[in-house]
Structure 1
Amino acid sequence: MRLPDLEAWAIFAAVVEHRSFSAAADAIGLSKATVSKAITRLEAQLNQSLFHRTSRRLALTEAGKPLADHAARILAEARAAEEAARDAASAPAGRIRLAAPMSFGNTNIAPLIADFLVLHPGIEIELHLSDARVDIVAEGYDIALRIADLPDSSLRARRLCGISTHVVASPRYLADHGRPTHPNELGEHRLLGYANIVGPWRFRRSDGAEVSVRAQGPLTANSGDALVPAVLADLGIARLPGFIIGPYLDSGRVTEILTDWAPPATGLHLLTPPSRLRPARVEALIAWLVDRVRDPCAMVGQAKDAVA
């Protein structure tokens, strides 16, 4: 049986990651000629081209695109195996790349990371905060926290907790424009939209009835926090997670509406690449987060300054 050319697959993954033969060669400490020969060798074994090459641009072919994910996994598993062997003889050390939602990351994750680093001085964490969905494998993240209903994928996922969602407006807005009692009435109101959720607002009642409403209004933002000032300024109705809007509900500055109709249930998930091999430092951070991320709404309510 012929063994796979694992070196060529790893070099292919490096070229995809760094988007050029030269950059990949510099990153992995090989000559450009060695990198080029490995790609040529792999293309010959597969009997297909992996890259379109021009003097100015390097791009994956249609055949190369699906193979890039396989190559990235091969490289990641090899690195994880080596690191696991080293970690077994020493304290966890090295860099972890972690992606988390912007608002949730600032209020809930950043404090936990600080505490974790105090206990693990040999570990470095690169924390990327954004509400945009990242490609964990392609962008090289070890862990991603995501608030969403997850589509089927090859990623490993663990649900940490539920996230409540509330449809809210200011008391003044409701006094001036009326209080909707059915989702269909939202079409007569100004709705403040969250750009990272594509499609209509969906609702479900306890008797199984379902309604969808298209969100239209004066503001759409890719951050839930950015919608709060507009709600407080009486500009419209928003649909926001409890960890953002909870303190304002508690203080009475906003009012929840349509309580008989629930937005789709969602949760906070911890995602990792498909490989079951993970360095000890990544396992340590996963265990830390799983143990401490319990009730995000309560945590944020305690952590935020008074908003009244």
Structure 2
Amino acid sequence: MDRLTATRVFVTVVEQGSLTQAAERLDMSTAMVSRYLAAMEAWLGARLLHRTTRRLSLTEAGQSALASCRQLLDLSEDVAHQAGAARREPSGRLRITCSPSFAEAQLAPALIDFQRLHPQVAFSLTVADRSVDLAAEGIDLAVRITNSLEPTLITRPLGLCRSVLCASPGYLAERGRPETLQALQAHRCLAHAFVSAAQYRFRHAGQIVELPITDVLSTNDAAVLRRAVLAGGGLAILPTYFVGEDLRSGRLIGLLPDYEPEPLGVHAVFLSRQHQPLALRLLVDFLAERFGGDTPPWDRVS
């Protein structure tokens, strides 16, 4: 049997979570999928999947093999992409999801700039402060800001999300500027319900430090949190991609520079690398170049 096809079958089974769904996606019979899996295990000399009537799970050998198999498929896709991309113009509609704050501050302008390069590409952008089910909602690409990703999803790092503890000048004039971590507990702490509720997390001297807080306001929307801080409601941890201009203009003041809120990764997330539209491949490359680097563009001092 063709080993490249067997590799693709193995990766698709892992991504889909069942032989039946993988067979549907690959337009194969379930029996053929089973034969390819058996061939993979025979070639590698190890069992790759635990199979029960209810679920599949990777063995230790399967977990080790998965990354290499994905690299092999990436390489084969890259060869085909490079051979044909020069002769094709990307087109079609891509369905994308992202958090509201990142979509407003960074992703929407990036998509418009991408369309200037490729005017035949259209976008449907869904903003949500939750992890959207890509398969159920027909999403081509999710941009997620997190340090915890599901291992079955395909991801590519795009950049780094740094945050800052900040407050308005008016609030600091009224309540004083905290000079120590412990002093924060005497202040009005505002929090993002999904990120910093119940505690603030900082990186200090190479260690993660957690400070329990009692928030006076929490919200699931970074824009609401920013507005509350600008209004003098208290101090909060906010991403620099969203409040960079506020910090540079003096509308917000960064606090405790020796205590950096824990950075998060910005990731492109999609279901599969197989048969990706050219527009999607080019968009992910574009976003990786735009948002990448040791210092994210929103943190660079021009």
Q: In 1, are the aligned partners of 2:90 and 2:120 still within 8 Å (CA)? A: yes
* Structure 2 residue matching 1:24: 3-state secondary structure: helix
Matches within 5 A, 1:63-142: 63-92=61-90, 102-121=100-119, 123=121, 126-133=140-147, 135=149, 138-141=152-155
Distance in 2 (alpha carbons) for counterparts of 1:203 and 1:55? 45
Distance in 2 (alpha carbons) for counterparts of 1:40 and 1:265? 44
1:216 maps to: 213
Q: Can you list the C-alpha shifts for 1:263-285, whole angstroms capped at 9, x where unaligned? A: 36969878899x9xx99754576
**The 10-residue stretch of structure 1 (224-233 or 101-110) with the greater mean CA deviation from structure 2:** 224-233
2:131 maps to: none
Pair 107,55 (structure 1): closer, same or farther in 2 beyond 3 Å: same
**C-alpha deviation, 1:45, in angstroms:** 2.7
Pair 134,145 (structure 1): closer, same or farther in 2 beyond 3 Å: farther
* Structure 1 residue matching 2:145: 3-state secondary structure: coil
**C-alpha deviation, 1:69, in angstroms:** 2.1
1:296 maps to: 298
TM-score normalised to structure 1 length = 0.66
Q: In 1, are the aligned partners of 2:143 and 2:269 still within 8 Å (CA)? A: no
**C-alpha deviation, 1:190, in angstroms:** 3.6
Distance in 2 (alpha carbons) for counterparts of 1:231 and 1:167? 8
Q: Can you list the C-alpha shifts for 1:50-103, whole angstroms capped at 9, x where unaligned? A: 222222322222332222222222222222222221213333467879786642
Pair 75,127 (structure 1): closer, same or farther in 2 beyond 3 Å: closer
Among 256, 262, 282, which residue is 2:253 paired with?
Answer: 256
* Structure 2 residue matching 1:63: 3-state secondary structure: helix
Ranges in structure 2 where 5+ consecutive residues have no aligned partner:
124-139
Distance in 1 (alpha carbons) for counterparts of 2:97 and 2:70? 18
Matches within 5 A, 1:246-285: 246=244, 255-256=252-253, 258=255, 261=258, 263=260, 282=281
Question: Which letter does structure 1 place at the counterpart of 2:28?
Answer: L
Distance in 2 (alpha carbons) for counterparts of 1:184 and 1:216? 10
Question: Which letter does structure 2 place at the counterpart of 1:228?
Answer: R
Aligned identity (percent) is 26
Question: Which letter does structure 2 place at the counterpart of 1:65?
Answer: Q
Q: Can you list the C-alpha shifts for 1:166-220, whole angstroms capped at 9, x where unaligned? A: 5214725752x4432333321322433454479854477xxx9x99561412255
Among 58, 61, 67, which residue is 2:59 paired with?
Answer: 61
Higher radius of gyration, 1 or 2:
1
Ranges in structure 1 where 5+ consecutive residues have no aligned partner:
149-162, 299-308
Distance in 1 (alpha carbons) for counterparts of 2:40 and 2:298? 48
Pair 133,261 (structure 1): closer, same or farther in 2 beyond 3 Å: closer
1:171 maps to: 170
* Structure 1 residue matching 2:190: 3-state secondary structure: strand
**The 10-residue stretch of structure 1 (225-234 or 89-98) with the greater mean CA deviation from structure 2:** 89-98
TM-score normalised to structure 2 length = 0.67
* Structure 2 residue matching 1:91: 3-state secondary structure: coil
